[in-house]
Structure 1
């Protein structure tokens, strides 16, 4: 199965607490990390694929390789293969470290890397997956899945924020626990409900 997420921001202490930008009511980054890992693994199986649309972690430990090692140890705890799309907080050096330490999960490598984005097809639609929201103009059957803006929503019906802080999870009948990657069915539900929402506004 395929799943989708963004903006996990593992280890990012400045996001702890309640804010309009990224409401994360945790006392420590360890609590936040463990909650994401637990909720992720409750849904994602070892053979599943998760598209992570950027901003994996923020950790300023020195030397850098120690930070990368700690991030790598967290990512190893996550079920599934990770298709990593580079976010503004993901350095090339982190990607190089993960690539150097990549390992097999079944017949595939744990990590796959993309600098800009990935295009896939699901249920007769094309999904452009990027970190930053895209302004695509007038399009048919094309949806932009993105992260970056945390607890905000792009006022365009074809843009769906899949980050862990997204307010667009409110379109779902059953909102998954914090940090849970979204399933294909949930993505399609968000797309449909956002289109209905926008139709009501006209």
Structure 2
């Protein structure tokens, strides 16, 4: 069993093809291409954390059909397009707005949106996000795992870790950086 991460599939969203320069001629080709890419790496016994925007403007029937076609046990971290429609009614293994998991000893903070700060970031926790479609640069501890960045397929923690190593380090300030209160006299 392997754990995978992805975001921003936007199944059914025809305009995402042009907006994000996705290599598909139409929305049917897009949706089926993403299903094929997903199932090429994810097996039936694997786990996938989808970090939001599963579908947008897809019919309830098509959204459910796509979900059923995708391999693995699927968890949803809600994105801005997931609060209405069929997506929330799908049989996800779990649904969250923000959650933390541990993968191979590494604490991962999962949210649809990139965060500037998160719990235990000074202790090495890594934040995975979507939403930005590759337009927001990552750091050595925070990275976009959306399909537009990750080759249109879910990715594993080792694959993410390789990309994080190429990102700029975060500049943490320790407690000695705390500025003492200065008394201001009138």
TM-score, normalized by the shorter chain, greater than 0.5: yes
**Does the 8 Å contact 2:140/2:166 carry over to 1?**
no
The structure carrying a bigger helix percent of its residues is 1
Q: Any stretches of 5+ residues in structure 2 without a counterpart?
A: 171-186
SS at match of 1:193: coil
**Does the 8 Å contact 2:44/2:71 carry over to 1?**
yes
Q: How does 1:1-202 map to 2 (within 5 A)?
A: 1-17=2-18, 19=19, 22-59=20-57, 67-98=59-90, 102=91, 111-136=92-117, 139-154=122-137, 156-166=139-149, 169=150, 178-194=151-167, 197-198=168-169
Q: CA deviation at 1:191?
A: 1.9
- Pair 42,96 (structure 1): closer, same or farther in 2 beyond 3 Å: closer
Q: CA deviation at 1:155?
A: 5.0
Q: CA deviation at 1:124?
A: 3.3
* TM-score with structure 2 setting the length: 0.81
**Does the 8 Å contact 2:38/2:71 carry over to 1?**
yes
- Pair 159,126 (structure 1): closer, same or farther in 2 beyond 3 Å: same
In structure 2, how many angstroms separate the alpha carbons of the residues matched to 1:55 and 1:127? 19
- Pair 15,192 (structure 1): closer, same or farther in 2 beyond 3 Å: same
Choose 1 or 2 for highest CA Rg: 2
Range with bigger deviation, 41-50 or 146-155: 146-155
Q: Which runs of 4+ in 1 moved over 4 A?
A: none
- Pair 77,117 (structure 1): closer, same or farther in 2 beyond 3 Å: same
SS at match of 1:139: helix
* TM-score with structure 1 setting the length: 0.75
- Pair 96,131 (structure 1): closer, same or farther in 2 beyond 3 Å: closer
Aligned pair count?
167
Q: Any stretches of 5+ residues in structure 1 without a counterpart?
A: 61-66, 103-110, 170-177
**Does the 8 Å contact 2:64/2:86 carry over to 1?**
no
